[in-house]
Structure formats: C-alpha cells, structure tokens
Amino acid sequence: MKSLTVLREIDPSARVAPSAVIGAYCVIGPHVTIGPDTVLHRRVCVTGHTIIGQGNYIGEGCVLGAIPQDLKYAGGVTLLVIGHRNRFGRNVTAHVGTESGGYLTRIGDGNYLMDGCHIGHDSFIDDRTTLGRGVLLAGHIRVHDGAILDDMSAVLQFCTIGQYSRVDRRVPVRRDVPPYTIFGPKGDETTPTVAGINDQGIKTARLSAQDEKELRGALADLFYNEAALATKIEQLVNLGVEGEVADLCAFCSRSLKGTYGRHREIYRGEIPPEFEQFMPGEWKAVIRRALA
C-alpha cells in the first residue's frame, strides 16, 4: 500500500524504512527510527529519540516520544524503544525516559494498547500485554508478560504488574499486583486487593498440568487471607517449592518488603537493573559516557 498524500513532515535525518507507511499529517522528528512494515495512521507525531521496530500498527493521533511529564527532567537525551508487531489504538501517548529514572521507556513485542492509553516515562512493558481504553501508567512501572489492564485502570508510580495477571476496570493500582491473580474490589472492601485467580491468564500461560495444579494450590493458599501472607510465603519456601510457585513467592516477598507494597520503590532516583537488558547496545556506551 503506497500512500498518495504528500502532506506529512518527515525530518531528513529520520531513519524510516522504505516499507513503512506514514499517513497524512504525520510529523516525524529528526532522531526517530521506524522499522519495516510499520504503519503510522493519520496525525501521528513521533518526536524525541524514538526507535520503533517492525510490523507495528499505530492508530490515529498517537504521540510517541514526547518529553516526560516529570518536573525533574532537564532535557537530556533519553529514549523510547518500541519492539515489533504491537498494535496501538487511537490517541495513545508514550513518553521518553528521564535521566534520573534510567533513560529508557520500553514497549516490548506483540502488545495491544487500546485507545487513549498513556505510557509514562521510564516504564517497561514486556510482551503480549493488553491495555484497555484510557489506561494510565505513571512513571517507572514494569508490566510483565501477558498482563491485562482493563479499561480506565490507573497505575501509580513504581508499581509492578505480575505476569498473566488482570486488573479490573476503573481500579487504581497503588501496590504490586502478584502474577496470575485478578486485582480489583473484593467484597465490601474499598481498597482494591487480590480478588481471585486469573483462570484466563493461567490458560494463556500454557503451564503443564502438574505446574498448574501446584500454582493454583499456592495462589489459593497465599491469598486466602492476605494478612498472613508473610508467614504463608515462609511456609511454602520451607517446603522447598520450585518453578512458577518459587517465582510467585519471590515476587510476593519482594513486594512485601518494598515501601507501600511496591518493590520498585528501591530504584527511586537510580538506574534500574532493566537498563542492561533493554537499552539498545549502541546507546549504552553513549549514556555511560554521559553518566561518567
């Protein structure tokens, strides 16, 4: 599909693959890289140091790579990296990272971000997640593989969303969401909490029958009474668990130790460990030089 329109502004120093489709009224800044077969619909603005992989579909009115909504940001070179085969709805916004938070915002592969999502600075979204309409992620968040955030949920800074978990609609997330659980209102409680096991998530994760049985047992045991979570984790660890259950126990104990139940609070004001894993190789040296 070749677009006939000429009304778009692509900076001459931007690196746009020949097979990428750039729609009408798009604005592409000078430090932008767009991979092959990526489609940008109308009025998409891509600024900042933004690297977009291949086969992405980016809907109308998305704004990617704008400066972060962080009062501490001083205008340094920070990145937004988007992987492959993601689908963005309309009016999705994602910001570049900040100097104090790790220089990088990253969206992995195969994610579906619906209309009006906002990905704040220094957030890391792994693969195959689904974000509903109007989901807000504040800064410094990690969303693990296969997580689902329902419409209009909002996640506070430094939270972690565990793998294959699900956050209910219109729920404010103020602490870490454990893997394979449903997070939302439970009974008469006003504060959202772990409200159940995410069956759909466990199905999607394709665990072996034995693993699934053990995981379900552990989840039911741990979250039957959250007040006793610490002792339950200790009991399970003493039994010598392994695999998914061990990961689950490690996740929960990390969250319990963190400030306000948020494990990532320990990375406040410093470079998170994901920097090594996710930062593109050629930029690592550049940023290390800037840090030195």
Partner 1 sequence: MAEISKLATIERGAKIADDVKIGPFTYIGPHVRIGAGCVIEGNVTITGKTILGERNRVFPLAVIGTSEGKGGEEGEVVIGVANSIREHATIYGGTSEAPTRIGDDNLVMIGCHIGAGAKLGNHGILINSTLIGAGAVLEDYVHTSGFIVIDPGVHVGAYTFTLGYTEINRDAPPYAMVQGTPFRVRGVNTEKLRRCGFGDSSIKALKSAFHEIYNSSGEGVDAAVLQRLLAQEDCDLHVQRLVQSVQKSLIK
List interacting residues with partner 1 (CB under 8 A). Answer: 7, 9, 25, 27, 43, 45, 47, 61, 63, 66, 69, 71, 91, 93, 116, 118, 134, 136, 152, 154, 170, 172
3-state SS assignment for residue 40:
strand
Q: Which residue's entry shows tokens 């394979």?
A: 180
Q: Which two tokens stand for residue 79?
A: 């990145």
- Taking the complex as a whole, how short is the minimal distance between the CB of residue 201 and partner 1, in angstroms? 25
At residue 266's C-alpha, the angle toward residues 151 and 51, to 5°, is 55
The span from the CA of 177 to the CA of 140, in Å, is 15
Q: Terminus-to-terminus CA distance in the chain, angstroms?
A: 47
- Taking the complex as a whole, how short is the minimal distance between the CB of residue 71 and partner 1, in angstroms? 7
**Contact yes or no for 62/88 (Cβ under 8 A):** yes
**140 dihedral zone (left: phi>0; alpha: psi -120 to 50; beta):** left
Q: In this complex, which beta carbon is closest to partner 1, that of residue 136 or of residue 207?
A: 136
Amino acid at 163: Q
CA 271 to chain CA centroid, Å, is: 17
Q: In this complex, which beta carbon is closest to partner 1, that of residue 47 or of residue 255?
A: 47
Q: In this complex, which beta carbon is closest to partner 1, that of residue 173 or of residue 182?
A: 173
- Taking the complex as a whole, how short is the minimal distance between the CB of residue 10 and partner 1, in angstroms? 10
Q: In this complex, which beta carbon is closest to partner 1, that of residue 8 or of residue 254?
A: 8
- Taking the complex as a whole, how short is the minimal distance between the CB of residue 194 and partner 1, in angstroms? 19
**Contact yes or no for 155/176 (Cβ under 8 A):** no
Q: Which two tokens stand for residue 242?
A: 């392994």
Q: In this complex, which beta carbon is closest to partner 1, that of residue 87 or of residue 170?
A: 170
The span from the CA of 120 to the CA of 93, in Å, is 8
Point out the residues that are catalytic.
121-122, 139
- Taking the complex as a whole, how short is the minimal distance between the CB of residue 154 and partner 1, in angstroms? 4
